[in-house]
Amino acid sequence: MNSFSKYFLDLFNQIWEDIQEWLLGLWNTLFSNVYENFKNYFDLIKYHSQNFDIFGWIMFVLSSAIMLGFIYFFFLRLVYYFRKYFKFQRTEVEKEELKEEIEVLNAKLIAAIDEKNKILSMKLSQLGSEGTEITPTTLLEEPERTRFTKLRAVDLQYNGQVLITHMRDEDRIALNEIAERFMNYCASQLNLYYPLKTIRLFLASMAASKVIILEGVSGTGKTSLPYALGRFFKNRAPIVSVQPSWRDRAELIGYFNEFTKKFNETDFLKAIYEANYRTDINIIVLDEMNLARIEYYFAEFLSILELPDKNDWKIDLVPDVWDNDPKLIIDGKISLPENCWFVGTANKDDSTFTITDKVYDRAMIIDFQSKGNPFNAKATEPMDLNISYLKNLFNKALDDYPIKEELIEKFYKIDNYMFDNFKIAFGNRTIKHMQLFIPVYQACGGTQEEALDYLFTNKVLRKFESLNTSFLTNEIELLIAEINNIFGEGVFSESIQYLQNIQRY
């Protein structure tokens, strides 16, 4: 034992001496020699500077400045990385503290829920003793206990049953009568004065596309038109104000919050969901839709609405299924109903984005250039109209007013002329819109030439906006002459007016 004690003490003394020697050596290396080093530097300068000429002194100053600058930036970068490291460490500590606070809040929330359940149980037992029949199932079915609060409220409002729109005999009228009644309703009931042509364009656009854009200067009644149509069909159109910050679909339909376990529902989503419970006409207005880029936040809708099978018109909301999800949310998806149209208004000014060809090709455009002139109209009441009857009217128009072969041939002639001289052409979507739009426009009381003139202006000539028309003055004059030659003098008045406006500005 004595031998081991002596060994251990000698070992400890040796280790301590080694540590002292290492610290002393570190001091001599880092600090004690600094003075001697600098002294040597100055001795070198003193020895060699005796033979410096003017050029030597200039080079001495420059080289010294470069070396001092290098040392300065080296230590500056070193300090920067140390500060960055300590800042990162502080951020990580703050994150850990925040996580701990969230865990504490979650624990308090669970405790509060348990306390609430105990209170409900006590009330339930008291009410049960008084003979009142209240079951725990009733308490669990409150709308606020689901992640879709607004949509579950719609389920309760409609009691899970689709609302059937029963039409009166006096409402079973043709498309041209619907157009005239709506015009008189707007004037007599709302003091809104729209030309009959504008209403025909709107109804025919509904047959061609689920997306309609009302474009023009502010104050011409763009937002009022779909709002008035909703009132006319006894189903007020919700107006959703588009914000400049919108970047994706989450701004439009909402998103699931992983922290609160709630889906942040929007009024837009609620309007779509409610339309699934109805059989009448549903119009959702996106007011000033080009305040943000349409192809960003509305891209998914533009793609889905082009699918030929309407059963595939579904939007993914959540990846999983909960037992208390709304009745019409199937496999985490919501359907875009056939009786729903999306109507956007778009101003043309410096505060808005340009609408791209991707949007123009998929939507129907109605241009508002001026306010309507007041006129006397007979008092007109709103009407009931269900989607089945409106679809039958559209199909009947396709059978009764097929597009004239002569008109199609003329259209292809002007299309070939446009491609040969301006490299501008239309695609298959325009053909599809033309086949649906022209017959319905004629059924509303217009002519096929007016309808084709409108489509040619808004689907083909609109592409001139991407060209430098100041160098195409002569070409545009020849195009106007060709239009008059093919379709007749002044028949395509809207197209000619559009081209003349391009020349003027």
Q: Which of 206, 188, 431 is nearest to 214 (CA)?
A: 206
Q: Is the per-residue pLDDT at 137 higher than 60?
A: no
The whole-angstrom separation of Cα 500 and Cα 505 is: 9
What is the residue-wise DSSP string for 291-357? GS-HHHHSHHHHHHTT-S-GGG-EEE--SS--TTS-TT-BTTEEE--TTEEEEEEEE-STTSPPPPH
Q: For 125-182, what is the HEC assignment?
A: HHHHHCCCCCCHHHHHCCHHHCCCHHHHHHHHHHCCCCECCCCCHHHCCCHHHHHHHH
- Distance of CA 122 to CAs 115, 118, 119, 130, 320, Å? 11, 6, 5, 13, 34
pLDDT, position 351: 76
* Interval 444-454 mean pLDDT: 95
Opening angle at CA 307, ends 304 and 313, nearest 5: 50
SS3 content of the chain, % helix, strand, coil (to 5): 65, 10, 30
In angstroms, what CA-CA distances link 20 with 24, 54, 466, 487?
6, 51, 82, 106
Q: What is the pLDDT of residue 129?
A: 40
Torsion of CA 290, 295, 297, 298, to 10 degrees: 90
User: pLDDT tens digits for 204-255?
Assistant: 999 999 999 999 888 888 999 999 999 999 999 999 999 999 999 999 999 9
Which of 311, 313, 334, 160 has the alpha carbon at shortest distance from 263?
334
C-alpha span between 368 and 496 (Å, rounded)? 17
Looking at residue 136, its pLDDT comes to 36
User: Quick one: pLDDT band at residue 143, thresholds 50, 70, 90?
Assistant: very low
Lowest mean pLDDT among 76-80, 147-151, 154-158, 425-429: 76-80
Instruction: State mean pLDDT over 79-99.
Output: 70
Element (H, E) at 496: helix 493-504
The helix (run of H) or strand (run of E) holding residue 368 is strand 364-368
Write out the DSSP string of 187-208: HHHH-----HHHHHHHHHHHHH
312 to each of 210, 301, 316, 334, 337, how far by Cα in Å?
Answer: 15, 12, 11, 10, 11
pLDDT average, residue stretch 98-122 = 63
The C-alpha atoms of residue 127 and residue 345 are separated, in whole angstroms, by 55
Predicted local distance difference test score (pLDDT) of residue 130 = 40
Given this model, what pLDDT does residue 357 score?
Answer: 87
**140 Cβ contact partners less than 8 Å away, ≥ 6 residues apart:** none
Nearest C-alpha neighbor of 254 from the set 238, 239, 271:
271
Q: Is the pLDDT of residue 76 over 80?
A: no
Residues facing 173 on adjacent strands: none
Averaged pLDDT, 38-64: 70
Quote the pLDDT of residue 399.
Answer: 96
pLDDT exceeds cutoff 60 at 144: no
3-class SS of residue 241? strand
* Burial class of residue 285, CB neighbours in 10 A (0-12, 13-18, 19+): buried
More confident of the two residues 276 and 82: 276
Tens-place pLDDT, residues 267-299: 999 999 999 999 999 999 999 999 999 999 999
- What are 217's two structure tokens? 């200067």
Phi, psi dihedrals of residue 147, rounded to the nearest 5°: -80, -15
Question: Where residue 49 falls among pLDDT bands split at 50, 70, 90?
Answer: low
pLDDT above 70 coverage of the chain, percent: 80
Q: Other CB atoms closer than 10 Å to residue 426's CB: what's the count?
A: 19
Lowest-pLDDT choice from 6-10, 150-154, 397-401 = 6-10
pLDDT at 73 over 80: no
In this predicted structure, what is the pLDDT of residue 54? 79
pLDDT category of residue 145 using cuts at 50, 70 and 90: low
Q: 491: buried, middle or exposed (CB in 10 Å: 19+, 13-18, 0-12)?
A: middle
User: Is residue 1's pLDDT more than 60?
Assistant: no
User: In this structure, which amino acid lies at residue 49?
Assistant: S
Paired tokens of 391: 């679809």
CA 348/CA 222 separation, integer angstroms: 12
Specify the higher pLDDT residue, 441 or 121. 441
